[in-house]
Structure 1
């Protein structure tokens, strides 16, 4: 997807916390300009994890929404093309965001879900910019990249997603 960042999110922890996180993440509640799911499928949304403030919503997406999202999420709009893998003690998510990796959303989520460990990996627009972030308890925990020629492809495959 041209202009979009491919992201992988790994969330690990106890079953109750994982289920609560997943349920909140897919609630898709957000401002009317963010409600784009039309097929009736559960909608995963960054708005569910880090909501756009009411005052910004009233001003509209074009006027203020995309600026707020870019500043506070790290991506100017919501995620698209979500894929999910559920395993015992783990959740794997693959999605795309326009223009940036929404690292602030998942830093906040790690604060809201202190029993979970989150790892967000994004492959930038230029397809060479690997961004790797680990969070726990509301803190950035560091970064790690696997060895090999294409670490993002290795991670994608380890999570069970095809290219």
Structure 2
């Protein structure tokens, strides 16, 4: 177990400040994207990215991946299907379940989005070692677990 020192406390406070700033920036990004006419929202992209591995997914799986309610996901998937970005079919195992998959057009849109953002992501993180990146991922996972735990208590 770690000993609490002033330098450790300072480091924890710096991490908290950086996390808060990152979540605020993400909130601003999500807000801007939902106000651009003719463009998909952050949540809609979340649904599409949930289909990238080629496995058809149920509404509940996609809603969870995009962090939206099933009702919101259903509405968004209807719009994405009407735009030709996803295809929806009934499950062979359970006719009550509708499975969604990416169309070629949806795949092209995801590939375009990745091509636009992935170079920025890689450039911003290029000075960090693989070990540092994995440590950062572990820290973020623990922070996520804290928030999930608090949400369950509420």
Higher relative contact order (CA 8 A, sep 6+): 1
Q: Which has the higher strand share?
A: 1
Asked if Structure 1 and Structure 2 have the same fold, meaning a TM-score greater than 0.5 normalized by the shorter chain, the answer is: no
Largest Rg, 1 or 2: 2
Q: Which has the higher helix share?
A: 2
**Alignment TM-score, normalising by the size of structure 1:** 0.25
